[in-house]
Amino acid sequence: MIVWLTGGSSGLGLHTARALQAAGHTVIAGARSFHEGEEDGIHHLLLDVTKPQSISAFCERALTIAPRVDALVQCAGILILGPCEETSPEEYQRVMDTDFLGMVRMNQAALPLMRAQRQGRIVMFSSINGLLGIPFQSAYTAAKHAVEGYAECLQMEAHRYGIQVCLVEPGDHRSGSDAYRMHAAAHSPLSPYAEDFRRGTGVIHHDEQHGSDPDALGREIARLLKRRSMPLRKRVASPDQRLAVWLHDLLPGRVNSLILRRYYLRRPKK
């Protein structure tokens, strides 16, 4: 299978690219930091999903490596941590432009090729945060919620052309780069949110550092591509994170919010 993959330089994208290559797929991976070449059996191409010209150049070069695209796996993403009040519209736009609109642009480049083939598979990385919000990740959460709704529409529209769509919803995994986990520029130690921000981001960092194995997630993506029919959603998360999603859907909003506030923002008793 010929697989195009975005966000292949680090984090879950890197682990997924390696797993797909190990499973026997031809992987053409794109990232902003890549120079053209091949490493460990994976083809590397420069790709910035926020720039249409970069996407066009990636597609043209990828088609010279292999004359078709059987699957598009979208892992590119950035994260800006910050209070809602202090995250600028420009920072929200930056996250949306990569995490959501970047997927839209790549899909629009690949879909005509897949329609002509009468088959194709599109795998988009959402997140547990595409299903519920947590403090200080509002930009990322908004982008992943957008991906969730968009994928449902795409799945219905593309089905008649033999194109399958799957949302992968990872929980916390041990991966990622600080280069893609920024803080809102307006936030400072003098912020009224400073103490909660420190506690909340400390919990987020701890959960990521002690998260699930990213190689196992990569292998799960490889198994998805081998299935005759992919599910619309595939949740890859620990039992407690699965429970959090279940409670989010079951409990009244006020109760769910209280549980999450206590988990992320609990202050020590004096």
Altogether, the residues listed in the chain come to a count of 270
| Alpha carbon distance, N-terminus to C-terminus of the chain | 59
pLDDT tens track for 198-224: 999 999 999 988 888 999 999 999 999
Would you say the C-alpha torsion 216, 217, 219, 220 has a positive or negative sign? positive
Distance CA 126, CA 233 (A): 9
Catalytic residue check, 140: yes
What is the distance between the alpha carbons of residues 76 and 98, in angstroms, rounded to a whole number? Answer: 7
**171 contacts 241 by C-beta, under 8 angstroms:** yes
CA 262 to chain centre: 26
Choice among 144, 150, 175, 264 that is catalytic: 144
- CATH architecture entry for 2-265: 3-Layer(aba) Sandwich (3.40)
Q: What integer pLDDT is reported at residue 211 of this predicted model?
A: 85
Alpha helices in 136-228 (DSSP H): 138-158, 194-209, 214-226
pLDDT for the residue 175: 74
Contacting residues for 130 by C-beta, under 8 A, at least 6 apart: 141, 144, 145, 147, 148, 167, 169
pLDDT over 90 for what percent of the chain? 89
> pLDDT grade, residue 91 (50/70/90)?
very high
* 45-59, 76-90, 162-176: least confidently modelled range: 162-176
9 is catalytic: yes
- The pLDDT of residue 231 is 97
Which among 92, 126, 138, 193 is annotated as catalytic?
126
Distance between CA atoms of 121 and 192, rounded to whole angstroms?
46
Read off the pLDDT band of 268 (50, 70, 90).
low
Whether 30 and 47 have beta carbons less than 8 Å apart is answered as yes
Domain boundaries, the chain: 2-265
pLDDT at residue 269, rounded to an integer: 63
Predicted confidence at residue 249, as pLDDT, reads 92
Say yes or no to pLDDT of 177 above 70. no
Active-site annotation holder among 92, 138, 140, 264:
140
pLDDT for 174 equals 84
Instruction: Give residue for tokens 């990213």.
Output: 214
